[in-house]
């Protein structure tokens, strides 16, 4: 009896020493790697296993445990993935619940709810009081069609027709602003008057272009309702004149200042302490000094017209050096924004490419399937974050974080500068050719990239004259 009481009071199992000697399965979570997600239920955690180098995510929703690989070695990226994964599971569960629910109007005009049997799709034999087979069904709320839209967009992401970043932006706009305001209304009640009140509330918080983007998301939800037969036509939307604020390009003097500063700071420690770099910016210990790749990124983007997102996908197999009457690079990049034609660079991009290839070849990172910039990082979202952080450090060092009109600058400003420099200094440049080579449209160049140009900057072209033909008798 005493031995039995001793066993009950023991804090560990009797076979604990033997259990510790047994090898753990390769898919069992490593105990010291289990990390909960702040602000979410305790069941949502990320962890590592011996069978994979990537972080895994696990959560419990509606009595079922779900787990999935985040496909990332970065803990910060894994946390972001875990939040998306959990929210998607909640949305799927909500849709399944709403699909099993039907709203009726009884004979007295009251709204009643009939739920389907949990084991089949037929309605329960216990009907609400006053329900008749001919009772009209009320239109489901706006939130139901928002969930349908998110599921459809997720399917497009799986088919690589839609980017995950765009889906996240749409989800944030719906869940953060739109659904709290419109989610509980029947979709037929979202009319012009309600949309106008919603637009007025947005105008108190956001710029005109942001308001128009929220209305586009609302239109997508209502279009899904039209496709599903809940609406006959889309309601009229309030007119919002979006005033675009183009990103501030750099001047040639500022460009050279950025280039010289990035070269001078190469190999220098980051301005923030190790704790801030790890916790706030998510940088690993090996990336606490400025990489040489940043100077190459600055020179390459200004001379190649590429977007910052292309830095994540550009590999050596996408680059071809062409030598004929002109020397340039031909970039056969993956399709971006429905554009898939090759990009040709300016000649200085060839020198940049040779320099980075020579450097990375010494580390064995210049093979066809290796990335051009920060090839040691297979997690390309993390590589882009490293480059963005150190570019902000260079702009802070040079005082160029904002343009002359106060526009905030980022890596995208290098692409803006690339196109602007061609418009300013390219002799007889054809805007259509420039737009096609930069994988954009003439309208985008006129509205954004050329919006900062003035007539005085091309005074030579304005004052030029055609040569007069001589008459030879």
pLDDT of residue 458: 58
Asked if residues 162 and 156 have their Cβ atoms less than 8 Å apart, the reply is yes
Tokens of 390: 């150190």
pLDDT of residue 240: 85
94-101, long-range: CB < 8 A, 24+ apart: 94/143, 94/147, 95/144, 95/147, 95/148, 95/151, 98/140, 98/144, 98/147
Q: Which residue, among 316, 444, 433, has the nearest Cα to 330 in the 3D structure?
A: 316
Give me the residue label for tokens 């604990």. 16
pLDDT of residue 361: 94
Give me the residue label for tokens 């990009």. 343
Who's near 221: CB < 8 A, 6+ residues apart?
A: 142, 145, 146, 149, 174, 178
Give me the residue label for tokens 């889309």. 234
pLDDT of residue 38: 85
DSSP code of 141? Answer: B
CA distances from 464 to 101, 206, 420, 458, 467 (A): 73, 45, 21, 10, 9
DSSP code of 209? Answer: H
CA distances from 435 to 32, 206, 404, 418, 423 (A): 52, 30, 25, 12, 11
Largest Cα–Cα distance in the chain? 132
Residue 222 main-chain phi, psi, to 5 deg: -65, -30
Per-residue pLDDT in tens (0 to 9) along the chain, 473 residues: 444 444 444 454 455 555 555 566 788 888 888 999 987 888 899 999 988 889 999 998 888 889 899 988 888 888 888 888 887 787 777 666 655 544 444 444 444 444 443 333 333 334 444 444 444 445 678 988 898 898 888 888 888 788 777 888 899 999 889 999 998 898 889 999 999 999 999 999 888 888 999 999 999 999 999 988 888 899 999 988 876 666 678 989 999 999 999 999 999 999 999 889 888 888 988 899 999 999 999 999 999 999 998 999 999 999 999 998 899 999 998 776 666 788 999 999 999 999 999 999 999 999 999 999 999 998 888 999 999 999 999 999 999 998 877 888 999 999 999 998 888 887 777 888 888 888 888 888 777 766 666 555 555 655 556 566 555 55
pLDDT of residue 262: 95
CB atoms under 10 Å from CB of 307, counted, come to 18
Percent of residues in the chain assigned helix, strand, coil, to nearest 5:
45, 10, 40
DSSP code of 72? Answer: -
């Amino acid at each position: 009896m005493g031995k039995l009481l001793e066993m009950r009071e023991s804090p560990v199992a009797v076979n604990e020493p033997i259990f510790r000697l047994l090898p753990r399965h390769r898919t069992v979570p490593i105990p010291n790697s289990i990390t909960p997600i702040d602000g979410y239920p305790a069941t949502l955690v990320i962890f590592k296993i011996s069978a994979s180098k990537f972080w895994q995510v696990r959560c419990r929703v509606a009595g079922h445990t779900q787990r999935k690989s985040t496909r990332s070695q970065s803990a910060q990226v894994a946390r972001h993935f875990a939040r998306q994964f959990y929210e998607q599971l909640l949305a799927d569960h909500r849709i399944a619940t709403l699909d099993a629910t039907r709203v009726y109007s009884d004979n007295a005009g009251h709204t009643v709810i009939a739920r389907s049997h949990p084991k089949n799709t037929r309605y329960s034999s216990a009907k609400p009081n006053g329900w008749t087979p001919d009772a009209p069904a009320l239109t489901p709320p706006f939130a139901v069609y928002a969930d349908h839209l998110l599921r459809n967009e997720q399917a497009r992401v799986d088919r690589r027709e839609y980017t995950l970043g765009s889906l996240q932006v749409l989800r944030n706009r719906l869940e953060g602003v739109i659904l709290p305001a419109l989610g509980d209304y029947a979709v037929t009640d979202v009319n012009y008057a309600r949309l106008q009140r919603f637009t007025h509330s947005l105008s108190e918080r956001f710029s005109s272009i942001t308001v128009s983007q929220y209305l586009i998301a609302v239109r997508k939800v209502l279009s899904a309702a039209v496709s599903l037969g809940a609406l006959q036509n889309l309601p009229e939307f309030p007119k919002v004149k979006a005033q675009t604020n183009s990103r501030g390009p750099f001047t040639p003097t500022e460009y050279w200042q950025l280039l010289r500063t990035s070269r001078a700071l190469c190999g220098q420690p980051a301005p923030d302490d190790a704790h801030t770099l790890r916790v706030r910016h998510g940088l690993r210990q090996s990336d606490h000094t400025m990489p040489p790749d940043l100077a190459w990124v600055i020179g390459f983007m200004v001379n190649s017209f590429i977007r910052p997102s292309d830095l994540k996908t550009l590999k050596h197999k996408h680059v071809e050096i062409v030598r004929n009457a002109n020397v340039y690079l031909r970039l056969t990049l993956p399709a971006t924004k429905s554009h898939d034609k090759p990009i040709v660079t300016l000649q200085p991009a060839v020198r940049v490419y040779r320099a980075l290839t020579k450097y990375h070849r010494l580390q064995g990172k210049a093979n066809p399937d290796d990335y051009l910039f920060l090839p040691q990082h297979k997690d390309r979202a993390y590589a882009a974050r490293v480059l963005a952080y150190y570019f902000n450090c260079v702009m802070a060092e040079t005082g160029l974080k904002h343009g002359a009109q106060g526009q905030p600058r980022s890596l995208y400003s290098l692409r803006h500068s690339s196109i602007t420099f061609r418009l300013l200094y390219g002799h007889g440049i054809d805007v259509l050719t420039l737009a096609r080579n930069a994988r954009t449209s003439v309208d985008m160049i006129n509205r954004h990239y050329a919006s900062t140009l003035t007539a005085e900057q091309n005074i030579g072209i304005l004052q030029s004259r055609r040569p007069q033909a001589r008459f030879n008798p």
